[in-house]
Amino acid sequence: MAGLGMKAARVAVVVALFAIWEILSRTGIVDPRLLPSASDTLLTLVELLQRAGIRNDLAVTASEVMVAFILAVPCGALIGFAIAENRYFAEVAKPLLFFAFSIPKSIFLPMFILVFGVGFSQKVGFGFFSTIFIVIMSTTTAVESVKVEHLTVARSYGATRLQTAFRVYLPSMLPVLLEALRISMIFNLTGVILAEMYASREGIGHQIATWGENFQMKQLLAGVVMVAVIAMTFNELIRSVETRCSHWRT
């Protein structure tokens, strides 16, 4: 648990980083055309957020991310569960999954474009593809974190399958699952934005790529800050649920 002093120190570090950024740019130590100052960037960010076009891009990205996530998590969880519970399936599938997981997903992006074209389904497809392996692997780990002793206790008190699922499996797995959810979202977001940057007509990833190509550094940096803040907010949200659900894990 972080005390108040610790939190203040963290805020101070962030403020200091922004201050260094501002100074580097203002004094010209770093060329301001390459690194616009922090204050300029933040002003641009506010200005960008007021544009309908940008808001639309954000909405497009958000919906792609959500759809990919909502599809990938249950599918991955189901497959992961099946693998963990079925000895034969596990022995066949597990090494293959490790192989698949080790491959950088980005090399498949051109294929996704060939199959899905450039658009919503391509982004969702690639987001799904980037996410599902980590979901499968985390679910398998989560199932394996269920203690045999706890299952025996439940059995010795005559628990039904459903009761065992809800009263032993679910609470045992919850902390690991929440963590998995959090990490999957990182993979998912990366996948969708990468797909947008590579080939797209809309979406925040597409905008960031365009700003970069046109050397619009202020907008580019503002976009970076925007995506970073969104990702961190989601991450922290799940993390707070995580700490509440896993207080017993000491």
Partner 1 sequence: MQPLANVTPFKPGSRAGAIQISNVGQVFKTATQDVVALSDVSLDIKPGRFVVLVGPSGCGKSTLLMMLAGLRQQTSGTILINEAPIPQPDPNRVGVIFQEPSLFPWLTAEENVEFPLALRRIPRSDRRAKAVDALKLVGLEGFGKRHPHELSGGMKQRVSIARGLVQDPPVLLMDEPFAALDEQTRMTMGDELLRIWAATGKTVVFVTHSLTEAVYLADEVVVMSARPGRIVDHLTISLPRPRTYEMLGGETFGTLRDRIWRHIRKSA
Q: Which stretch, 5-13, 37-45, 116-124, 165-173, contacts partner 1 (CB under 8 A)? A: 165-173
Give the three-state DSSP class for 247: coil
Residue 26 engages partner 1 in binding (rule: CB under 8 A): no
**208 forms part of the interface with partner 1 (CB under 8 A):** no
- The two tokens of residue 50 are 């007021």
- Determine the interface stretch with partner 1 among 10-18, 143-151, 198-206, 225-233 (rule: CB under 8 A): 143-151
Which residue number, 10 or 249, has a Cβ lying nearer to partner 1? 249
Q: Residue 99 or residue 157: which is nearer to partner 1 going by CB? A: 157
| Rounded least distance, CB 153 to partner 1, Å | 5
What does the alpha-carbon distance between residue 239 and residue 224 come to, in Å, rounded to a whole number? 22
The least distance separating partner 1 from the CB of residue 82, rounded to whole angstroms, comes to 24
In this structure, the dihedral spanned by the alpha carbons of residues 52, 213, 128 and 49, taken in order and rounded to 10 degrees, is: -20
Among 30, 159, 225, 241, binds partner 1 (CB under 8 A): 159
Residue 25 contacts residue 38 (beta carbons within 8 Å): yes
Note whether 153 binds partner 1 by CB under 8 A.
Answer: yes
Q: Helices (DSSP H) in 27-103: which residue ranges? A: 38-50, 52-85, 87-102
Task: Tell me how far CA of residue 250 lies from CA of 43, 153, 158, 175, 247, in angstroms.
Answer: 44, 21, 29, 12, 7
Q: Which are the contacts of 32, defined by CB distance < 8 A and separation ≥ 6? A: 25, 26
Q: Which 166-185 residues touch partner 1, going by CB under 8 A? A: 167-168, 171-172, 174
Q: Is position 241 an interface residue for partner 1 (rule: CB under 8 A)?
A: no
Establish if 88 lies at the interface with partner 1 (CB under 8 A). no
Closest to partner 1 by CB, 66 or 154: 154
Can residue 248 be called a binding residue for partner 1 (CB under 8 A)?
Answer: yes
Distance in Å, CB of 116 to partner 1, minimum: 42
The residue from 28, 158, 213, 244 that contacts partner 1 (CB under 8 A) is 158
Q: What is the DSSP string of 135-172?
A: HHHHHHHHHHTS-HHHHHHHHHTT--HHHHIIIIIHHH
**By C-alpha distance, which of 169, 125, 107 is closest to 143?**
169
Q: What is the binding site for partner 1 (CB under 8 A)?
A: 147, 149-150, 152-160, 163, 167-168, 171-172, 174, 247-250
